[in-house]
Amino acid sequence: MGKRVALVLAGCGVFDGSEIHEASAALVHLSRGGAEVKIFAPNIEQRDVVNHLKGSPTEEKRNVLVESARLARGNIQDLAELKASEFDAVIFPGGFGVAKNLCSWAVDGKNCTVNEHVNFTLQAFHSAKKPIGLCCISPVLAAKVFPGCEVTVGQDKDVDGRFPDAETASAIVELGCKHICKNVNESHVDKANKIVTTCAFMCKAPLHEIFDGIGTMVQEVLKLA
């Protein structure tokens, strides 16, 4: 029987929700790994709604769970209903929705607060010694909730202009965590905490390299599960 994995979304669309390519990549690799997946998202209002054509905020109001249902093809549950006892692992794709809706990193940086259901979910899986996979910006959730953990968001310097958000690594270190520099096609495994991270779109890289990096994260999560 395949591993039971919960996938937590933050909306639909890179600028105000989950990064669609990352969510899809995680689902493809989980499917290939024989995992049984259920998808969740918090039933809350988005921090903002961004016109993805213009890249600017609008006056609309949207719900994170309702928007995430687009990616889940309608088969999704409220994050408040997630029980760690029913799963072997949990995975968080990235996207600005993580930093806006799952926590307030986009506004408050390392002084952010984490949504109560997201925090509860992370704590529950960690306490049960079940693996947690995170990609792109979502490793900041682990850095905020688990001081001292090891994560990667790619490189800590903007190497060749490929890591424009390299300062995120410094903020992670300021939270008392260890940042491990990795390339886009790699992931890092914090064996002590069972946290697996990869940088994904924190790196300006071809889509197939991001897809492969997420694949290594998913494979490591399934190995630990």
136 a catalytic residue: yes
Compute the distance between CA of residue 64 and CA of residue 164 in angstroms, rounded to an integer: 27
pLDDT at 1: 75
Is 0.85 surpassed by the pTM of this model? yes
Question: Looking up tokens 């600005």, which residue turns up?
Answer: 96
Of the candidates 117, 166, 168, the residue with the CA atom closest to the CA atom of residue 145: 117
pLDDT at 68: 98
Average pLDDT, the chain: 98
The domain that holds 21 is classified in CATH as 3.40.50.880
Range of 202's domain? 4-224
Give me the catalytic one of 12, 112, 135, 136.
136
What are 123-170's pLDDT values in tens digits? 999 999 999 999 999 999 999 999 999 999 999 999 899 999 999 999
Split into its structural domains, the chain has a count of 1
Residue 156 is encoded by which pair of tokens?
């800590």
Of the candidates 24, 2, 5, the residue with the CA atom closest to the CA atom of residue 196: 5
